[in-house]
C-alpha cells in the first residue's frame, strides 16, 4: 500500500517502473537542442491533416503508438490511459485515442497534465489495482494561439515575457515493479495557488507560486532536502517564472538554483530561436521528459529527478472576466534507484 506522507505526498512501496515512452515534435522542436532525441519530428505543422486540431490528435496517436511499439504491446494490453490537453473539451486527446479502445480516464491539469497523469497511473499501479497504465498529453502552437490569443494570421506582436507553445506530444507507459530504471518513487498532488497575476502573457509568473508550494510541501512531507536530488525540473515556467520560483523558495530557506532547470528552457535555444521567455504547453514538459529526462534516468546520467509540470488554470473567458490566473503543479520523483534517500 502506498504510504501517505504529510498532507499531499505519496511514497510508493513497490515503485512503478517507467517502461517505455515516446516524444513527438514539430519542426521548431526538431531544430531545438533536443531535436535529435525525439522519436519523431514532423516538419509539416499539419501532420498531413486538414486542420491543426486534427494535427494535434494525430500527434497524440503517434506518441501512443510509438510508446506501445517499443514494448511490442497492443492497445488491449494497457489497463487504462490518463490523457488530457489544452484544447477546449480536450479534443486532441479524445480524437487521438478514439481508435485505440483503451479505457480512458480524461484529466485536465493544463500544462501539468503529464505530471497528473503519471501521478494517478503510479498510484493505481503501486496499489496493484492495475498492472500497466499510460499517460499522454499534447499541445500545438497553432491550436493554442488560435484558442488562447489571436489567429496566427493577425501577426500580433508578443511581449518578452510571453512563451512559445510547443508543438509536441509525450506518452509514457508505467508498469508494476520490475528491475529496470527509472522508478517512480513518490508523488505530491498539487493545490491551487493564486497570487493574483492577471497577465496572460506572463504565465510563468502565475505558475511559479504553485511550483514553489508543491516543492516545499514535498520536502516537508518527506523530510528531504534539495541537495539530495541531482535535478529539479519544472514544466514550463520559462525564464521569468524560473527566477521567481528560485526567489520564492529562498524565502522558505530552500536553495535550488544550481540544480533547477525548466523544460521550457531546455526545449528551445533561446539565443537562436525566437521563443521569448521559453517554451510552454502540455507537450513541452511531456516531450522533454521523453526526449531527455527519462533516457538520462535510465542510463544513470540523472540519478534523482524531481519533475513538476506546472499548469495555468485560466481560460480566455476567465481572462475576459478579469479573473486572476490560478496555478497548479503536481510533482513526481523519478529515480535511477529503487530505494534510498527517503
Return residues touching a second copy (CB under 8 A): 1-2, 4, 7-8, 10, 50-51, 53-54, 76, 79-80, 84, 86-91, 94-95, 97-98, 101-110, 116, 119-120, 123-124, 126-130, 189-192, 194, 313-318, 321, 323, 326, 328
Query: Can you name the residues that pair with 9 across neighbouring β-strands?
Result: 5, 188
Quote the least distance from Cβ 37 to a second copy, whole Å: 30
Smaller CB separation from a second copy, 12 or 17: 12
Quote the least distance from Cβ 79 to a second copy, whole Å: 7
Smaller CB separation from a second copy, 62 or 100: 100
Quote the least distance from Cβ 142 to a second copy, whole Å: 13
CA gap 137, 117 in Å, rounded: 9
Smaller CB separation from a second copy, 190 or 264: 190
Torsion angle of C-alpha atoms 232, 233, 235, 241, degrees rounded to 10: 70
Quote the least distance from Cβ 9 to a second copy, whole Å: 10
Burial 192-218 (b: 16+ CB within 10 A, else e): ebeeebeebebbbbbbbbbbbbbbbbb
Smaller CB separation from a second copy, 68 or 265: 68
Quote the least distance from Cβ 125 to a second copy, whole Å: 11
Quote the least distance from Cβ 269 to a second copy, whole Å: 30
Question: How big is the chain, counted in residues?
Answer: 342
Smaller CB separation from a second copy, 136 or 297: 136
Cβ neighbour number for residue 161 with a 10 Å cutoff: 17
Burial 3-20 (b: 16+ CB within 10 A, else e): eebeebbbbbebbbbbbb
Cell numbers found for residue 43: 516538419
DSSP 88: G
Quote the least distance from Cβ 50 to a second copy, whole Å: 8
**Terminal Cα distance for the chain, rounded:** 16
Nearest CA to 34 out of 170, 163, 137, 203 is that of 170
Smaller CB separation from a second copy, 172 or 312: 312
Smaller CB separation from a second copy, 22 or 87: 87
Quote the least distance from Cβ 266 to a second copy, whole Å: 25
63, 81 contact by CB (below 8 A)? no
Cell numbers found for residue 35: 531535436
182 preceded by a cis bond (ω within 30 of 0): yes
327, 312 contact by CB (below 8 A)? yes
Smaller CB separation from a second copy, 91 or 342: 91
Amino acid at each position: 500500500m502506498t504510504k501517505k506522507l504529510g498532507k499531499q505526498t505519496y511514497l510508493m512501496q513497490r515503485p512503478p517502473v517507467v517502461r517505455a515512452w515516446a516524444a513527438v515534435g514539430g519542426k521548431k522542436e526538431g531544430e531545438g537542442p533536443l531535436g535529435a532525441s525525439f522519436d519523431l519530428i514532423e516538419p509539416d505543422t499539419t501532420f498531413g491533416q486538414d486542420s491543426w486540431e486534427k494535427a494535434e490528435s494525430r500527434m497524440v496517436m503517434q506518441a501512443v503508438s510509438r510508446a506501445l511499439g517499443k514494448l511490442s504491446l497492443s492497445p488491449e494490453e494497457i489497463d487504462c490511459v490518463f490523457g488530457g490537453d489544452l484544447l477546449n473539451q480536450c479534443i486532441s486527446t479524445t480524437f487521438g485515442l478514439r481508435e485505440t479502445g483503451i479505457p480512458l480516464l480524461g484529466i485536465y491539469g493544463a500544462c501539468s497534465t503529464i505530471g497528473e497523469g503519471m501521478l494517478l497511473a503510479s498510484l493505481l499501479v503501486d496499489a496493484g489495482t492495475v498492472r500497466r497504465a499510460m499517460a499522454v498529453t499534447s499541445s500545438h502552437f497553432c491550436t493554442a494561439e488560435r484558442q488562447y490569443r489571436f489567429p496566427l494570421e493577425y501577426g500580433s506582436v508578443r511581449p518578452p515575457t510571453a512563451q512559445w507553445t510547443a508543438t509536441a506530444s509525450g506518452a509514457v507507459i508505467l508498469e508494476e515493479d520490475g528491475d529496470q530504471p527509472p522508478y517512480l518513487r513518490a508523488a505530491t498532488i498539487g493545490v491551487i495557488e493564486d497570487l493574483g497575476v492577471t497577465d496572460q502573457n506572463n504565465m510563468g509568473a502565475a505558475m511559479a507560486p504553485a511550483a514553489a508550494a508543491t516543492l516545499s510541501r514535498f520536502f516537508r512531507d518527506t523530510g528531504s532536502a534539495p541537495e539530495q536530488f541531482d535535478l529539479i525540473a519544472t514544466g514550463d515556467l520559462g525564464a521569468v517564472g524560473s527566477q521567481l520560483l528560485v526567489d520564492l523558495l529562498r524565502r522558505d530557506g530552500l536553495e535550488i538554483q544550481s540544480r533547477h532547470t525548466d523544460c521550457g528552457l531546455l526545449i528551445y535555444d533561446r539565443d537562436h530561436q525566437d521563443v521569448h521567455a521559453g517554451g510552454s504547453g502540455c507537450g513541452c514538459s511531456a516531450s522533454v521528459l521523453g526526449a531527455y529526462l527519462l533516457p538520462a534516468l535510465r542510463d544513470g546520467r540523472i540519478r534523482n529527478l524531481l519533475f513538476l509540470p506546472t499548469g495555468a488554470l485560466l481560460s480566455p473567458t476567465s481572462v475576459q472576466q478579469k479573473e486572476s490566473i490560478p496555478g497548479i503543479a503536481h510533482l513526481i520523483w523519478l529515480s535511477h534507484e529503487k530505494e534510498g534517500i527517503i
